[in-house]
Chain A
Amino acid sequence: MILKSVAEQALNAALKTGGDFAEIYCEDRRSGAMGLVDGHVEAASTVRRHGAGIRVFRGLNSVYVHTNDTSASGLVAAARKAADAVSGDARVGDIRLVRSLPRNVHPIKEMPMDVAGTRKAKLLRDCDLAAKAVSGEITQVRANLTHWDSDVLIANSEGLFTGDTRVYTRLYVAAVASRDGDSQSGREAPGAMMGYELFTDRVDAAHTARIAAERAVTMLHAEPCPAGVMPVVIDSGFGGVIFHEACGHSLEAAAVAFGNSEFAGKLGQRIASPIVTAVDDGTLPGEWGSLNIDDEGLPTTRLVLIEDGILKNYMIDRLNARRMNMPPTGSGRRQDYTFAPTSRMRNTYIAAGRDDEAEIIASCPDGLYAKSMGGGSVNPVTGEFNFAVDEGYLIRGGKVDRPVRGASLIGRGGEILMKIDRVGKDLRLAQGMCGASSGSVPVNVGQPMIRVTDITVGGR
């Protein structure tokens, strides 16, 4: 993408006015999207994004400049713009970059960009047929295939000159079930840091479509969820969004470094029930939130956040590492070159526990079984979170009873962590896009089935 000599020139220019660290993130990304509605491909597009971001630190201050012009003169001009915003003693620069290659733990078999459009269209049609075969009540199926491959180059004034290629593939199926003027939808969206082999090696597209369709039909026949405070069993997989929203964001350095987190200053302290161990792992092969190197060029890590209820680690990027006087954890991420990176989650999950899934339900007082969660959000300062239940059932007499719709869970992260009284054995991960100050990035959430003694359930 860019020559080492050009990167050296730009980094020197960026530090001309007293900056003490400079970084270039150059990216060339090709992405494709195809959408099918009601059995017909409706739109197909290809996008090429190309540009570079230059970041300069002086102490705890940071400056970010990005541009589409990655020619030598364009990069040096951008570096000068960044330097203009920094004032200090001029530094005589002589940066020498040393090229390194990261270990690739995500080998790609089939680049999705090179797969014929007709094959992709067939995959989407198969989803449509599979969803419609579930029930005559399925009135609408939407299936989208998205993929992108991104070449990144990261160089910094500490001598780093490295790069990586990231390849992502994801399928999204949404089905709508209707009856007597009422309608409900169900969604399922598996993805991975994989090429098109995702659909032979890991994900059965038709199965994905059936799950979405079955969910829509189930919810069509569901009654409104009763509101109140009750015990809630949250199933594995996307149920992990509770931990992501309610606790994960508050363990990111971006919140911790400024004290904007209920978990700031609590390393070594009990913040969760003793049966809870939670991990943020960027190294899992082929997983949606994994990376060989983070967006600051550091190898990603497996980070134990909470061990047996005790807070062990925060997720830390380079800039906040300076603020917190702690080492970075390979957690610096950004949507693309138009964003400065910050600390973000990767694959974040509650680890497998010792409880039997059947017993968790059987021993549960009357409450809610959240089989599939929707998204949610959190205020990291107060810890207040909310998220939606996409597929829920009442628990009555230790058994899963009738389905309920429109439920949402609200509470405070710190309180919920302490109230987890069961953790199942079967860990599953699920894919999401997480939005924050450095943009929208792919993350996995995950957990085994867990039970929370009481949560406020919103309904009608």
Chain B
Amino acid sequence: MDRNAFIRRLLDAAAERGVAGEICCERGESFEVSVKNGEIHQYSVADSAGLGFRVLKDGHTGTASTQILDKDALAQLMDGAIENADLVESKDEQFMYPGDESYPDLNLYNPEIGAMDAAVKIDMAKRLERLALDQDPRITQVEDCAVFSSTGERMLTNTLGLHVSMKSALLGGYVCVVARDGEKVNTGMKVFFTMKPDEVDLEAVAKAAAKEALDGLDGAPVPSGKYRVLLKNDVAGALLATFSGVFSADNAQRGLSRLKGREGEIVAAGCVTLTDDPHRLDSAASAPFDGEGVATRVKAVVENGRLNTLLHNLKTARKQGVETTANAARASYAAGVGVAPTNFFFAPSDTGFDAMVERVGDGLLITELQGMHAGANAVTGDFSLAAKGFKIEGGRVASPVNQITVAGNFYELLKDVETVGSDLEFRAPGTSCFGSPCLLISGLSVAGKAE
């Protein structure tokens, strides 16, 4: 069935059944090529489309979705969503939104990306692999090297009159290299994302991956103990990503965040400002409207250490008697509505990386944390993670370190930030995108070799 006709019939059917109905439609195309030894290793092209349906009945929502618009789908969506809404017992009232008068114009779609020839992207991937291998004779292998692009559109419409849509496009890639020196082996990786294909600097990407692998070749554990720690920008961003749920009002209202009821209080060091910016370019997490169709806006969640607000959607905001922050999140058309940041980052200062290392004096530079999905407890904030990095001695980066774990607590870490660096970098964007400059933490526990 034609998509537009399907949508009209579904919304009409909702009205007939006496429920509010909302449809989230997505369509997209994606491309990925990976190369190995100068040849195409894997090549993948996809088109995708899906439709999610949400009904609001007696203050409860139920959802159903489909990737096929056949004659059964209409009834399956309507009956499924209503049955699901009837099963919900939560006392929290849900809402749908009629739409705002205007939405920010973000220009997230660059048609050049959709029009890029496959041959151009294949060539980019081949060049990236070559550049990585040419960085140093000790780079013996490129484990993985790929370039990908995607274009997509999302449309949100409901029986209350909401009708919004957006298009986006993104080009990206990554390279993973292996460095070997005798028996020693280490890996390095670098990812890039952009909306502007002509601004990609493949040489810099290759260099960063090679540097990470080479610099860490001679890694050895340090003695267990408490260390002053400089978290490299992407590591600090990864930690923020892991614990970003503590800023969700949804989690707070369920008792899953210790920031519950702490709005207006100091929760972090004075140098810490955490911003949520849904309008940033080069990010798939940017959008003019959130998952409920509310116009998005930039806000400081933590400002100079003070918690201004938690992140809200319509439900959590109403429950707390505040305005939504337009952080309703739908990971895809099929997902229910939750709460998530958009582009969420530690605001940078003007202290450069070298000055940050100098301020550490003696301690550790952490360049990699592993096992975030397992060694971190999002409820308690506790983490204990395998790490790699370098010693910092007399204010300078010294010998590499590996086979250690770094342990701490995210809530305490926010207070223990001594200085924020200037080198803000964002991680790979998904539903949310996280960023940070390097952060100097006054003390973290490290497990390494016995004294």
Contacts and interface: CB of A to CB of B under 8 A. Distances in A.
Contact of A48 (B43, B65, B81, B380): B65
Nearest to B66: A48
B371 A45 contact: no
A65 B46 contact: yes
A50 B69 CA distance: 10
A398 interface: no
B114 interface: no
Interface stretch (A202-210, A286-294, A378-386, A420-428): A378-386
Contacts of A70: 68
A445 to B, nearest CB: 13
Contacts of A47: 64-66, 334
A139 B257 CA distance: 13
Contacts of A382: 185-187
Contacts of A93: none
Contacts, number: 233
B221 to A, nearest CB: 7
Given A45-B336, A340-B44, A381-B143, A227 B447 contact: yes
A388 B375 contact: yes
A34 B62 CA distance: 10
Contact of B374 (A178, A258, A375): A375
Contacts of B446: 227
For the residues of A in contact with B, the DSSP-based class is strand
Interface in A19-50: 28, 34, 37-38, 40-50
A335 interface: no
Given A140-B254, A227-B445, A381-B178, A408 B84 contact: no
A228 B405 CA distance: 10
Given A61-B40, A379-B370, A459-B407, A50 B89 contact: no
A334 to B, nearest CB: 12
A85 B45 contact: yes
Interface string B412-451: 0000000000000000000000000000000001111110
A377 B372 CA distance: 9
Nearest to A377: B371
Contacts of B41: 61-62
A343 interface: no
A37 B90 contact: yes
B322 interface: no
A82 B446 CA distance: 50
A98 to B, nearest CB: 28
B47 A408 contact: no
Interface in A338-368: 338, 340
Given A183-B380, A258-B143, A338-B46, A381 B67 contact: no
B118 interface: yes
B238 to A, nearest CB: 13
Contact of A406 (B36, B384, B404): B384
Contacts of A388: 371, 374-375, 384
A171 B343 CA distance: 33
B242 interface: no
A386 B377 CA distance: 15
B314 to A, nearest CB: 15
A381 B141 CA distance: 11
B44 A63 contact: yes
Contacts of B73: 48
B50 A68 contact: yes
B44 A64 contact: yes
Q: Which of A183, A382, A405 has the most CB of B within 10 A?
A: A382
A66 B62 CA distance: 29
B123 interface: no
Nearest to B372: A377
B403 A407 contact: no
Contact of A227 (B66, B185, B224, B382): B224
A42 B91 CA distance: 9
Contacts of B88: 40-44
A61 B36 CA distance: 10
B76 interface: yes
Interface string A279-302: 000000000000000000000000
For the residues of B in contact with A, the DSSP-based class is strand
A408 B62 contact: no
Interface string A144-183: 0000000000000000000000000000000010100111
B87 A121 contact: yes
A260 B88 CA distance: 49
Interface string B228-264: 0000000000000000000000000011101000000
B39 A61 contact: yes
A176 B379 contact: yes
Given A65-B44, A227-B405, A406-B382, A377 B373 contact: yes
A381 B187 CA distance: 7
Contacts of B407: 227, 406, 408, 458-460
B102 interface: no
Contacts of A227: 224, 405, 407, 445-447
Given A376-B371, A382-B185, A458 B447 contact: yes
Nearest to A121: B87
A426 B66 CA distance: 44
A88 interface: no
B386 interface: yes
A459 B371 CA distance: 14
B445 A460 contact: yes
Interface string A44-86: 1111111100000000011111111110000000000110010
A387 interface: yes
A48 B62 CA distance: 15
Given A47-B65, A49-B67, A41 B89 contact: yes
Give me the 9 closest cross-chain CB pairs, A-B, nearest first. Answer: A458-B405, A227-B447, A386-B386, A375-B374, A44-B84, A386-B371, A458-B447, A408-B384, A50-B68
Given A61-B39, A61-B43, A406-B384, 10 more contacts: A44-B62, A46-B80, A61-B41, A61-B42, A68-B50, A225-B384, A375-B374, A388-B371, A456-B449, A459-B445
Interface of B: 36, 39-50, 61-68, 73, 76, 80-81, 83-92, 118, 141, 143, 178, 185-187, 221, 224, 254-256, 258, 334, 336, 370-371, 373-375, 377, 379-380, 382, 384-386, 402-408, 445-450
26 contacts: A43-B63, A43-B336, A48-B66, A64-B45, A66-B44, A82-B45, A117-B86, A139-B255, A184-B377, A227-B405, A227-B447, A260-B141, A338-B48, A376-B371, A377-B374, A381-B143, A384-B402, A386-B405, A388-B384, A405-B382, A410-B386, A456-B448, A458-B384, A458-B407, A458-B447, A459-B405
